[in-house]
């Protein structure tokens, strides 16, 4: 018992201290941060005021990331659900082959693709278009999404679709009215993972977007810190981190179960 | 007919995964840089010859492998400990699971800066603590060895929860009557861990290692922001090198070659892993 309590305490400190340090930094004045004996004074909201009144104001980046995240999630599900369903209807060998390819793509370190994707963006005029980011994001999310949703379709009893077939429902009707409601939990898990991925994605957003008012959150925060070579404005950066992390913290706390289900489902199936 | 349903997704997948790799194959046999006016000109195997003789490429290969090896090993160990802790039934374990998930959910790019601040010399909290203890401040991010360890720490901090969750799913898949039977036969808990838990966990651990190793070999955000590859290139990874080749040196042909070199490395390691799993499975059967 005592050992477990100690272990839990260590896990809590390990997970939370770096985050709490950001919160602390964001609430301190610059001079309090570099003073050797930080006293009780020196607390401030100036760091938040500074980034919220910046040009563009910080909420703009939150909005950008939300828009990209939602668009990528919608596009991924729109493509992945029919694909996963269609995949289950293929002969075993085709299915195994495609599943293997999808697994390889899901594991692939996608940063390797950035240069060719940037070339494509330039050729088709997609650079500096916020919504265009959802194309690579959906493409990169598809392998995992199709695998997760495929597993969900496979778990449904086959009699279900047979009886729907007897009722005279066509493929679209079966998918929309019978199967879709039943794979809603898997769709939610998948959607959450895609949203988190899009929200956090760095190399593609870094190379596709250069206009300040279109930056997504990670790039905007990295730019705040990179604005000066010698001294990073850590107070403003920490405030940006706190504001940029709050939506994610809320998502994780509210949707812990489906997120964990999505992360582990791939391994269990 | 149902194959048609898969087509839109497969097309986008081909565009995002296959087209880039084919394009790199083509680019790697072309000079495409400032010197050629950013126009691709065929140059035979010059890029590949350069790659083989490029000390920076090999140094980065060693550094990338070293980073990936140590990070994944630590993540596996800590992840197993965390999974065992989360697997026991006690009040508050759901809350702890949520909290451990937080580091995984935050953007790598953002926390990379956070770590730079935490290890700042002399104002970061670690050095603050050292000074309170009467020790001199340490320039963590100016010496190659400690910078490397900070990068590993940041990666371990972020991805251990992911490994732990995979292993936890594995633990939950082991039927409890297996343990009961083992205890009835007079086995101790420590023996049960070694004889039941670890062998049955192996497929999950394998999957976690496969996924994490591939991701760690491609590490980019973390090093680009936390260290920029420094000091003196000591934390530069292959992904960062190929990024710099393209975006700073504007040498697209060579950047593509570096990426393909990394791809070959990745394929080789995956083959070794798959072979290792087969040998391990064969040894037990």
Query: pLDDT digits over A179-201, tens only?
Result: 888 899 999 999 999 999 999 99
Average pLDDT (B244-257) is 93
Q: Which two tokens stand for residue A68?
A: 């990209």
Domain membership of residue A251 (yes or no) is yes
Angle among Cα B11, A121, A78 to the nearest 5 degrees reads 40
Euclidean distance between the first and the last CA atom of chain B, given in angstroms as a whole number = 42
pLDDT value of residue B220: 93
Domain membership of residue B136 (yes or no) is yes
* Domain CATH code at residue A102: 1.10.3720.10
Give yes or no for residue A105 having a pLDDT over 50: yes
CA distance B34 to A9: 55
* Domain CATH code at residue B228: 1.10.3720.10
CA distance A82 to chain B (A): 5
Domain membership of residue A40 (yes or no) is no
CA distance B57 to B35: 21
Interface test with A, best of B17, B32, B121, B167 (most A CBs within 10 A): B17
Domain membership of residue A15 (yes or no) is no
Give yes or no for residue B260 having a pLDDT over 60: yes
Q: What is the pLDDT of residues A131-170, one digit of tens each?
A: 999 999 999 999 999 999 998 998 888 888 888 888 888 8
Interface test with A, best of B39, B96, B114, B153 (most A CBs within 10 A): B114
DSSP B142: G
Domain membership of residue A74 (yes or no) is yes
Residue B34: pLDDT band by 50, 70, 90 thresholds?
Answer: confident
Average pLDDT (B272-278) is 88
Give yes or no for residue A37 having a pLDDT over 60: yes
Residue A267: pLDDT band by 50, 70, 90 thresholds?
Answer: low
Which chain B residues have a beta carbon less than 8 Å from that of A203?
A: 220-221, 243
Domain membership of residue A258 (yes or no) is yes
Which chain A residues have a beta carbon less than 8 Å from that of B246?
A: 115
Total domain count for chain A? 1
Residue B36 exposed, middle or buried by CB count within 10 Å (0-12, 13-18, 19+): middle
* Complex ipTM value: 0.90
pLDDT value of residue B285: 42
Give yes or no for residue A175 having a pLDDT over 90: no
Kindly determine whether residue A86 and residue B2, on different chains, have CB atoms separated by under 8 Å.
yes
Domain membership of residue A24 (yes or no) is no
Give yes or no for residue B212 having a pLDDT over 90: yes
Which chain A residues have a beta carbon less than 8 Å from that of B71?
A: none
Residue B55 near residue A217, CB atoms below 8 Å: no
Interface test with B, best of A42, A76, A90, A116 (most B CBs within 10 A): A116
Average pLDDT (A46-71) is 90
Which chain B residues have a beta carbon less than 8 Å from that of A16?
A: 99, 102
CA distance B242 to B262: 9
Provide the residue range defining the domain that includes A90.
Answer: 45-268
Domain membership of residue A16 (yes or no) is no
Domain membership of residue A124 (yes or no) is yes
Q: Which residues, 6+ apart, have CB-to-CB distance to A171 below 8 Å?
A: B1, B2, B5
Percent of chain B with pLDDT over 90: 55
Domain membership of residue B4 (yes or no) is no
Domain membership of residue B247 (yes or no) is yes
Q: What is the pLDDT of residues A75-90, one digit of tens each?
A: 999 999 999 999 988 8
Minimum-distance CB partner of A107 among B161, B214, B263 = B214
Buried residues in B225-258 as b, exposed as e (16+ CB within 10 A): bbbebebebebbbbbbbbbbbbbeeebbbbbbbb
Minimum-distance CB partner of B123 among A33, A80, A238 = A33
Provide the residue range defining the domain that includes B251.
Answer: 47-284
CA distance A215 to chain B (A): 14
Domain membership of residue B207 (yes or no) is yes
Total domain count for chain B? 1
């Amino acid at each position: 018992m005592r050992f477990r309590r100690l272990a839990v305490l260590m896990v809590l400190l390990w997970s939370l201290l770096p985050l709490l340090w950001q919160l602390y930094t964001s609430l301190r004045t610059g001079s309090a941060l570099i003073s050797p004996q930080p006293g009780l004074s020196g607390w401030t909201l100036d760091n938040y005021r500074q980034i919220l009144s910046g040009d563009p104001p910080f909420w703009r980046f939150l909005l950008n990331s939300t828009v990209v995240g939602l668009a990528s999630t919608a596009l991924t599900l729109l493509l992945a659900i029919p694909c996963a369903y269609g995949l289950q209807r293929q002969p075993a060998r085709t299915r195994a082959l495609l599943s293997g390819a999808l697994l390889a793509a899901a594991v692939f370190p996608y940063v390797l693709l950035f240069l060719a994707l940037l070339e494509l963006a330039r050729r088709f005029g997609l650079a500096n278009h916020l919504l265009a980011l959802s194309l690579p994001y959906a493409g990169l999310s598809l392998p995992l999404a199709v695998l997760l949703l495929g597993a969900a379709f496979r778990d449904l009893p086959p009699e279900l679709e047979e009886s729907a077939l007897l009722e005279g429902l066509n493929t679209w009707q079966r998918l929309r009215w019978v199967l879709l409601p039943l794979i809603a939990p898997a769709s939610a898990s998948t959607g959450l993972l895609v949203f988190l991925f899009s929200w956090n994605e760095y190399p593609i957003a870094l190379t596709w977007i250069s206009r300040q008012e279109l930056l997504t959150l990670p790039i905007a925060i990295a730019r705040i810190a990179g604005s000066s070579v010698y001294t990073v404005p850590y107070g403003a950066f920490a405030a940006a981190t706190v504001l940029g992390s709050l939506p994610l913290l809320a998502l994780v706390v509210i949707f812990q179960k489906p997120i964990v289900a999505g992360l582990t489902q791939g391994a269990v199936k | 007919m149902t194959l048609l349903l898969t087509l839109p997704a497969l097309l986008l997948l081909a565009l995002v995964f296959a087209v880039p790799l084919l394009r790199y194959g083509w680019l790697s046999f072309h000079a495409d840089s400032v010197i050629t006016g950013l126009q691709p000109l065929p140059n035979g195997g010059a890029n590949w010859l350069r790659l083989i003789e490029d000390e920076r490429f090999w140094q980065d290969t060693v550094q990338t492998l070293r980073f990936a090896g140590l990070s994944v090993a630590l993540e596996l160990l800590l992840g197993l400990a965390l999974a065992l802790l989360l697997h026991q039934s006690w009040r508050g374990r759901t809350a702890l699971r949520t909290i451990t998930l937080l580091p995984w959910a935050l953007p790598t790019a953002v926390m990379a800066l956070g770590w730079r601040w935490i290890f700042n010399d002399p104002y970061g909290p670690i050095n603050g603590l050292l000074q309170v203890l009467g020790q001199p401040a340490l320039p963590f991010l100016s010496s190659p060895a400690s910078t490397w360890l900070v990068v590993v720490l940041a990666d371990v901090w972020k991805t251990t929860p992911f490994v732990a969750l995979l292993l936890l799913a594995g633990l939950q898949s082991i039927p409890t009557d297996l343990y009961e039977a083992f205890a009835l036969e007079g086995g101790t808990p420590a023996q049960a861990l070694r004889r039941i838990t670890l062998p049955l966990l192996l497929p999950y651990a394998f999957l976690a290692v496969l996924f994490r190793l591939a991701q760690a070999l491609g590490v980019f955000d973390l090093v680009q922001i936390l260290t920029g590859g420094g000091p003196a290139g000591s934390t530069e990874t292959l992904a960062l090198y190929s990024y710099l080749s393209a975006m700073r040196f504007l040498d697209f042909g060579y950047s593509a070659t570096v990426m393909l070199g990394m791809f070959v490395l990745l394929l080789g390691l995956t083959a070794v892993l798959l072979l290792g799993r087969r040998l391990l499975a064969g040894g037990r059967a």
